[in-house]
Amino acid sequence: MKTKTILLVIGMIMMMSPAFSQSFDDYLEVVRDVLNSEKKAAVAETMELSEVESGPFWALYNEYNAELYKVHTERVNIIKDFAASYESMTDEKADALVNRSLAYQTKLLKLNKSYYKKFKKIIPAAKAALYFQVESKIDALIDAELAAEIPLVNTN
């Protein structure tokens, strides 16, 4: 898997200063596009799809990733909101951020359950499991990088 490239892209996200909000948002979109391209290449390399499986898989993959993009945008917004509120964090803001994060996780789980069923209809269950395992590993890399870069809530 192209983990070094994926980690490099994630690292680039973390190095940008949010002080340049519009340019940061533009840069973030470019980075997300690059990350998605790298992810697609890693999926293609891992899946070893037959010609019969390939067309339906990639059509559903693109549909799923369009929905995934929407859900992940909420996570990006939560992180940006956390960063903007970090110095002046209140109990109310912290509570709202946690509740938004839990709602994001619920949406992501619901999306994954729904699409896992759809993938099993077009490819064997073992290949559908493999695909979701790849997605999970990439998510774990992203989560690890975010955990390393995002500070804990300031309670002072």
pLDDT over 60 at 18, yes or no? no
In this structure, what are the phi and psi dihedrals at residue 137, rounded to the nearest 5 degrees? -65, -40
Q: What are the DSSP calls for 27-42, one per residue?
A: HHHHHHHHHHHHHHHH
Domain ranges of the chain: 3-149
Q: Give the span between the Cα atoms of 8 and 35, in whole angstroms.
A: 9
Q: Give the span between the Cα atoms of 70 and 21, in whole angstroms.
A: 20
Report whether 60 contacts 115 (CB < 8 A).
yes
- CA dist list (Å): 51 to 109, 123, 146: 30, 12, 37
Over residues 70-122, the pLDDT tens digits come to: 999 999 999 999 999 999 999 999 999 999 999 999 999 999 999 999 999 99
The stretches of the chain forming alpha helices (DSSP H) are 3-15, 21-47, 51-85, 91-122, 125-149
- Residue of 143, 156, 153 whose CA lies nearest to 10: 143
> What pLDDT is recorded for position 4?
52
Report the alpha-carbon angle 43-62-69, nearest 5.
Answer: 95
Over residues 19-61, the pLDDT tens digits come to: 445 577 777 788 888 888 899 999 999 999 999 999 999 999 9
Q: Give the span between the Cα atoms of 141 and 10, in whole angstroms.
A: 9
pTM: 0.81
- To the nearest 10°, report the CA torsion of 49, 51, 55, 57: -20
Question: Which residue has 């993959």 as its token pair?
Answer: 61
pLDDT over 60 at 17, yes or no? no
